Structures are given as C-alpha cells and as structure tokens.
Structure 1
Amino acid sequence: MNELLNRVDGLEGVAASGRPPAPTRAQRLARDAADAAEVRRWQDHPDVIALRVERVRSQVDRLCWAGIVLGLAFTMANVQWFAAAGSVPWSLPWLAAWLLDPTVSLVLLAILRAEQVTARYQVHTGRWVRAAKWLALGATYVMNTWASFAAGSLAGVVLHSVPPLIVFAAAEAITDLRDKLTEAVRVAFTNATERAEPHEDVHESKPSKPRAARRATSVRRKLFADYLDEAKRAWTPDVVVTPAWIRQVTGCSRGLSPRLAAALADEFGNTPDTAPHGEEDQS
C-alpha cells in the first residue's frame, strides 16, 4: 500500500512540475523497432537497391578510367623517345615526337568513352570499333617495347610491357563489366519489385503509371501486369473467375492467383469465387 501511495505521489509531482514522464524501456524499444522497420522498408525498395548497384558501377568506371589514363601517361615518355630517335632535344623533330602518343591515346579514349555509353544500354558495337581499339593498343605496345626488344633487355621488355598490357586488359574488361553491371541493376530492380508486390492492394485494378513504367524495363521476368493481361485475353463472359482458373490459364503461383482473380473481377465487374484452395482444386 505504501509503495502504491509513493507512486501516486510521484505522478502528482510530475503533473505539478509540468514535465512529461520519461519514456519507459518498452516505449524506447517500440520506437527503435518502428525506426528499424522504416529503414528496412526503404532499404528493400527497388529504386534504392538499383541505386546501390549504380553507385558501384560509377566507382568501377572511375577506377578503370584512372588506371587507363595513368597507364597511357606512363607510355607517353617511352613513345616520345621512340619517335624522337635520337633527335636533338627541343628541336622540331623532338617536339613533334610528343604528338605521336596523344594521337593514338585520344583515339583509344574516344572509343572507350563511346563503349561506356553503349555498354550501359547493352548495345554491342561492330567489328571496326574493336579493330580500331586493338590497333591503337597494339601500336602503343610495339612503340613501348621496341627498343627493349632490339637491345635484348628482358627486364626492359617486362617493364615496358606491363602498362600497355594493363591498359589493353582494362579496355576489354571494362566493357564487359559495364554490361554485367547493367544486367545486375535490372535483376536487382526486378527481384526487389517482385518482393514488394505482395504488399500492394489486392483491389487495385490497374498499376499506377510509375509502377507500369518501372515494370516495362524488367523484360526478363513475368510480372503481375503480364499475368493480368494474359488472363484478360483468356476471359470470356461465361467464365467464372476463380484462383484455380487463373492458375490454369496463366500458370502463375498459388499465392498470386487470388490477387489476379480479384483484379480481373474488378476489371470486368464480376465477383471472384474465393473458395478455399482445396475446394477449387477439386472443381
């Protein structure tokens, strides 16, 4: 009894002071759980997942470009020395020799920049593009290692071979990496969209325009709108829309068929037959 009176006295003291009571441990945990659920909901959002892969692709692009530019800068001095061929420093032939490497490197960088865009949209370039890229890389390699081969210096050959070969490998790999990262963005977005679909309203007759626009980019997987269009084409006025009938004409999963039946019934103004799964399978 005394303990209860002490608690009442404490509450009266808080009310008199005008300050709200401190949150309890349960209230703090409930607030943390709500915050965590909100963060997790946004982390699983399709656009957020696709954005993460896009950021990785940007990092890969920057690192590859940095390595290619540094490798070409290293080869510039060797190509100038090869082109100068013992000319007097600061003479006209010596100065003109500095133009050879930028001529080859700028063509190579232009091709790689174009492939950066085409690979993003998975558009493959022709044979002439690859031939020009290989010609530029091969010319750079020959001009870098010619003097070492002529002198019989194995160490010089290895030293001057590494940068051009790294540039060559990076130029070939970066195209495939961009193509695969584009595919990764599409797959990640599609998977995240499919995980989010069960939380949609089952009475939604048509997808909203932003969702329809996003689904149009996911051509590799059959989505809710595709199943619904397929059921619409198979429906006739004498058909009773049931989840079992939906599965029969579309081949969708058992969990998706009730949503499709409800959406199709709303579309044509019918009432879907929502019999239990065991009864509708026997029909």
Structure 2
Amino acid sequence: MPITTPDPTPPDPEEFTRGLAALERHLADAAAPTNTAVQPIHDAPVVRGETRRVQRLRAQVAEAHLLADLQDDDIPLLLDSPKVRKRRRQAHEAARLHELSRQPAQLAYTASKARRRVNIGLTVALVLALGWSTAGVQVFASEGAPQWSPGWVFAWFVEPFMSIALLCFVGAKAFFGTRGQPANDRVLDRIEWLFLGLTLGMNAWPHLPWSLPEGEEFSFARLVLHILGPVVAYAVVTGWPRLLARFAALDHRLTNPLTVAAYSENTDPDRDHRKPFGGVRNGLSEGAHRERLRDLIASGQLPKQPSARAIQRALGCATETASRLRDELADPNPDPR
C-alpha cells in the first residue's frame, strides 16, 4: 500500500510579519544597556557602630545577667563535696563502732582479749623472774663446788622444783578467781610466802656483807640486782589472782541503747529500761520527753527536724515514743492528743 505525504499549507503573510516583529523586539531588549547607576548617598543605610569592642561588652553584660540569676540558686551549695562525703562516711563508721563497743558480746570479747594479754604478759614475767632467781639460787646451793660436778649440777634443780610448786598454787588460785570464787586461804598464802622467802634469802645471802669472801667489798647494787627476780615473782604471784578476779566480776549486760527492751504488760510502754545515752533518766512520760526535746532543740544540741534515732539517743526513750515526737515536729499542725 503506497504512502503519500500531503503538501503543507503555505504560511499566512500576516503571521510571518508578526513573528518578525516579535523577534526584532526580543533582540532590541537583549542589546539594551543595563542601568548601573549608583544610588544616591542619602539612600544608603545608617551605620550603627557594631564594632568588636561593642560586641564583646554586650557579651560580658549578658554573661553577668546570667551569672546573677544562677548565683541566686542555692542548690549547688546543698550538694556534698567529696571531702564532705568522706568525713560523713568516717563519722558514720565511728558511730557504728561506738554502738558495737556497747553490745554485750563485744564487751565480753574485749575483756577476753585483755585477759589473754594480761595472762601472757604475767606468765612471761614470772618465768623470767624465776629463771633469773634460779641462777642466784644455784650459786647459793653449789657452795663453790667445781663446775660440772654433781653438787654443781644438782644445784640447778633447787629453784625449779620450788618454782613449779609455786606456779601450781598460783595457777589454782587464778582459776578459782576466774570462776568468781577467790581462794582466800591463809595456808596457801603462807606456803607462797615460804617459797618466796626461801628464794629471796638464797639469792641475797651470798651477797650480804658477812657472806662475802675476804677482800671483796659489799655492793648494794649487786644485792638489789640478785633479789630483783624474787621481788618481781612475789609481785606477780600477789597481783595476778586479784586481776583475774576483777575480770571475772565484769558485768557484760546490755548497755546498747539501740536494742529494744523486752515487752511486759505490767510496765509503761513509754518506759525504756535500757541504759540511756547521755545519762538521761528512764521512766519519764511522753510529755516530759517532749519538753526535754524542745529544750535540746532550743539550745542547739539537736537540729530543728531531728531523726527518730537522734531523738532516741538523746532522750533515752523508746523507739515508738521517738517516732511520735519526730512526727510531731515534722507536722506543723499536729492532731491534739
């Protein structure tokens, strides 16, 4: 099938004329010079003097206003610094240790440690004193016997068997003293005096003026040095049982004010039968505790809003009473009771 292209319609002369006129106007506008005339001076904006110095001063003034607003806020002053927190931790630890030191178990443990140290120290002192005395007694008992002869060797056993007997008596009296039954027996006391007198005499006799060899001068210092062992042994033997009796008589009853007393229906619920903190009497009424609390707050010994624990420690009252007094201070309009 053949394809035929129709001939286009010739343009209208008027359209051709309008097109040429539009083209000429476009070219004329494009070729026209641009208006670059400078505006008059009176039309320019006025300069306000915004220099760097002005901007810096404005920034300083704005900063001062912000700092003044922030300085009126006391919240940063209420925060604890690291030093304050460290001191509070140390104070809290000291308070806890003080409370622990008042408990019966801690008191008994402390007394036990003290008694152990005393026993060890006195035992060492007594053994050394008797050992020192042994050398002096050996000189007295040997009577100038040759060294390593039978008399010289057996002279070393004179003091030990007396010391062993003396230590047995002392140990028995100490044991009875720890059980609260001191052995106040004249016979035992005389036996101790006999052993100590013999020891003292045998140590002092070779160094007395009439016992010295011819040509040797008497020395008081040498005499004191040789009787020092028996004197120390006598002091230990005399004082040891009495010290142990004192340890046995110690009272480890409840003295901690934070421990709640046992309940009894026949007693006043506001009465605290524990030993008070600070020497305040127990058995006071709640009204008396209230007046006492007001006096403590007025004198500055307690803050205006103390805790229940602080009130209990200051007044020596029961926990429930301290809680009620704390609530009364916290509530500005307490209910009448």
Q: TM-score normalised to the size of structure 1? A: 0.57
Q: 1:243 to 1:101 in 2, by over 3 A?
A: same
Matches within 5 A, 1:3-14: none
- Determine whether 1:50 maps to 2:50: no
Please report how far the alpha carbon of residue 147 of structure 1 lies from its aligned counterpart in structure 2 after TM superposition.
1.3
Which residue of 142, 150, 155 corresponds with 1:92? 150
- Determine whether 1:151 maps to 2:211: yes
Matches within 5 A, 1:74-153: 74-125=132-183, 126-149=185-208, 150-151=210-211, 153=218
C-alpha contact (below 8 Å) 2:133/2:227 kept by paired residues: no
Deviations 1:258-283 (A, max 9, x none): 8xxxxxxxxxxxxxxx9xxxxxxxxx
Per the alignment, residue 219 of structure 1 pairs with none
Structure number with larger C-alpha Rg: 2
Which residue of 153, 176, 180 corresponds with 2:246? 180
Q: 1:83 to 1:36 in 2, by over 3 A?
A: closer
Please report how far the alpha carbon of residue 44 of structure 1 lies from its aligned counterpart in structure 2 after TM superposition.
2.3
C-alpha contact (below 8 Å) 1:80/1:97 kept by paired residues: yes
Give the letter for the 1:147 counterpart.
Answer: P
C-alpha contact (below 8 Å) 1:243/1:257 kept by paired residues: no
Per the alignment, residue 9 of structure 1 pairs with none
Give the letter for the 1:177 counterpart.
Answer: L
In 1, Cα distance between equivalents of 2:96 and 2:281 = 29
In 1, Cα distance between equivalents of 2:105 and 2:119 = 21
Per the alignment, residue 255 of structure 1 pairs with 282
Give the letter for the 1:160 counterpart.
Answer: H
Please report how far the alpha carbon of residue 99 of structure 1 lies from its aligned counterpart in structure 2 after TM superposition.
1.4
Please report how far the alpha carbon of residue 36 of structure 1 lies from its aligned counterpart in structure 2 after TM superposition.
4.2
In 1, Cα distance between equivalents of 2:119 and 2:171 = 10
Q: How many residues align?
A: 198
Off by >6 Å, runs of 4+ in structure 1? 26-30
Q: 1:95 to 1:257 in 2, by over 3 A?
A: same
Q: 1:95 to 1:29 in 2, by over 3 A?
A: closer
- Determine whether 1:170 maps to 2:229: no
- Determine whether 1:39 maps to 2:100: no
SS where residue 63 of structure 1 aligns?
A: helix
Give the letter for the 2:139 counterpart.
Answer: W
In 2, Cα distance between equivalents of 1:98 and 1:111 = 22
In 2, Cα distance between equivalents of 1:164 and 1:179 = 24
Per the alignment, residue 161 of structure 1 pairs with 227
Deviations 1:195-220 (A, max 9, x none): x2x53446x44xxxxxxxxxxxxxxx
In 1, Cα distance between equivalents of 2:86 and 2:226 = 64
Please report how far the alpha carbon of residue 180 of structure 1 lies from its aligned counterpart in structure 2 after TM superposition.
2.2
Please report how far the alpha carbon of residue 112 of structure 1 lies from its aligned counterpart in structure 2 after TM superposition.
1.5
SS where residue 123 of structure 1 aligns?
A: coil
Deviations 1:133-176 (A, max 9, x none): 11111111111111112336342432222221121122101222
C-alpha contact (below 8 Å) 2:203/2:226 kept by paired residues: yes
Please report how far the alpha carbon of residue 122 of structure 1 lies from its aligned counterpart in structure 2 after TM superposition.
2.6
Segments of 5+ residues of structure 1 without an aligned counterpart are 4-22, 206-227, 236-240, 245-252, 259-273, 275-283
In 1, Cα distance between equivalents of 2:227 and 2:90 = 58
Greater RCO, CA 8 A, separation 6+: 1
Segments of 5+ residues of structure 2 without an aligned counterpart are 1-62, 67-79, 213-217, 271-279, 286-320, 322-337
Q: 1:89 to 1:46 in 2, by over 3 A?
A: same
Please report how far the alpha carbon of residue 256 of structure 1 lies from its aligned counterpart in structure 2 after TM superposition.
3.9
Please report how far the alpha carbon of residue 242 of structure 1 lies from its aligned counterpart in structure 2 after TM superposition.
5.8
Identity of matched residues, % = 24
When the two chains are superposed, the root-mean-square deviation of aligned CA atoms in Å is: 3.7
Q: Which has the higher helix share?
A: 1
Matches within 5 A, 1:13-24: none
